Structure 1
Amino acid sequence: MTCLERIEQYLKQQGVRYEVIHHARAYTAQRIAQAEHIPGKMQVKVVMLRSDDEFYMAVLPAVTHVDVEAFNRVTGKECHLASESEFKDLFPDCETGAMPPLGSFYMLPIYADDMLEEDDEIVFQAGTHTESVKIAWDDYLRLERPFLAQISHRAYA
């Protein structure tokens, strides 16, 4: 089963309305937002951090960068950005760097940037660099229960 198929099955089981968006191949969240013609702060990206042998998902708007110091304060851990080679095996159903912000799929804790609360919907990659899923922010909160905090550097005022 592909990552997108798993996501669709999960969302249907939970009674969540969603939209699958097919777009030109894109490797960054900002490029995906451009391809989908949506605001960059609505497009979500996943940044993986690591502390010793533990991995964490940081879920951020495309227009921001993770603030590792803020993340460390929030988690109480000494984390660093994980390289793709460190985390790619955690996501066997995803193209490298195209993992969805669904920690429940991969038994990973999720820390979401509080800027995401500014929009009613989020869009995230669905395991490939050509497919994304749009869902309501409230549904994402209900399903994934991320820890919310300011964990990014804002790229705009």
Structure 2
Amino acid sequence: MPAKKLKEYLDSHHIHYETISHSMAFNAQRVAATTHIPGKEMAKTVVVKVDGEMSMAVLPASFKIDLDQLKIATGARLVELASEMEFKSRFPDCEPGAMPPFGNLYDMRVYVAHSLSEDKMIAFNAGTHIELIRMAYRDFDRLVHPTVLKFSKRPMAHHA
């Protein structure tokens, strides 16, 4: 079952979304493959500290976060990854690493990678490692009001 807080929030705003259950797969790209969701649509949420403030950076699962780019884009002095110990108490209704990109529900600012904002749909962990929520990106944008910046890069291509 998706995180109660998230489900109630989406339902109260009459948002059309789909819940997709899948087997235990912690890697976001593997989840995208097993659920047949295009990797570009599959979002991963990375908790970062922007000048000490816990924030969410949301990017396509197949991309890597570029902390230097995020630092420049936000104008921050320091941007670093937050450790699970630092942020897990913020998400009491979520499994570690499965928090949905709704920073507004957890009192956190949300930065979305420009590459993700171009998608019609967005899919993300719904608070567990076995459920996704897929919904229209424009609904996500309307509810979360994320700041769209460039801070993601494609990983190096693997040659066969």
TM-score tier (shorter): over 0.9
Is contact 2:4–2:93 with CA below 8 Å preserved after alignment? no
The Cα shift of 1:51 comes to 3.8
Tell me which amino acid in the other structure corresponds to 1:105: L
Q: Distance in 2 between matches of 1:141 and 1:86?
A: 27
Give the count of matched residue pairs: 156
Counterpart for residue 40 of structure 2: 41
Tell me the CA shift for residue 156 of structure 1. 7.1
1:56 maps to 55
- The TM-score normalised by the length of structure 1 is 0.93
- Say if 1:17 and 1:156 are closer, same or farther in 2 by CA, change over 3 A: farther
Name the counterpart of 2:27: 28
Distance in 2, matches of 1:123 and 1:25, equals 16
Contact 2:2 2:131 in 1 (8 A): no
Deviation at 1:117, TM superposition (A): 2.5
**Aligned 8 A contact 1:3 1:93 in 2:** no
> Relative to structure 2, which stretch is displaced further, 32-41 or 49-58?
49-58
After TM superposition, the runs of 4+ consecutive aligned structure 1 residues lying more than 4 A away are none
RMSD of aligned Cα (Å): 1.6
Shift of 1:98: 0.3
SS of the equivalent of 1:87 reads helix
Q: Distance in 2 between matches of 1:147 and 1:3?
A: 25
Deviation readout 1:92-132 (Å, 9 max, x if unpaired):
11110000000011000000001113321000001100011
CA distance in 1: counterparts of 2:87 and 2:27, whole angstroms: 17
Summarize the Cα distance change of 1:70–1:25 in structure 2 as closer, same or farther, 3 Å threshold: same
Offset of residue 56 of structure 1: 1.1
In the other structure, the counterpart of 1:16 is 15
Identity %: 43
**Structure 2 SS opposite 1:92:** coil
Write out aligned runs for 1:123-142 (5 A).
123-142=123-142
Unmatched tracts of structure 1, length 5 or more: none
Where 1:96 maps in the other structure, the secondary structure is coil
**What is the rounded CA distance, in whole Å, between the counterparts of 1:144 and 1:138 in structure 2?**
10
Aligned: 1:144 with 2:117: no
Mapped contact 2:3–2:93 kept (Cα < 8 A):
no
> What whole-Å deviation, never above 9, does each CA across 1:26-47 have from its counterpart, x for those lacking one?
1121111112111111100001
Q: Which amino acid aligns with 2:48?
A: L
Task: Give the counterpart letter for 2:95 in structure 1.
Answer: E
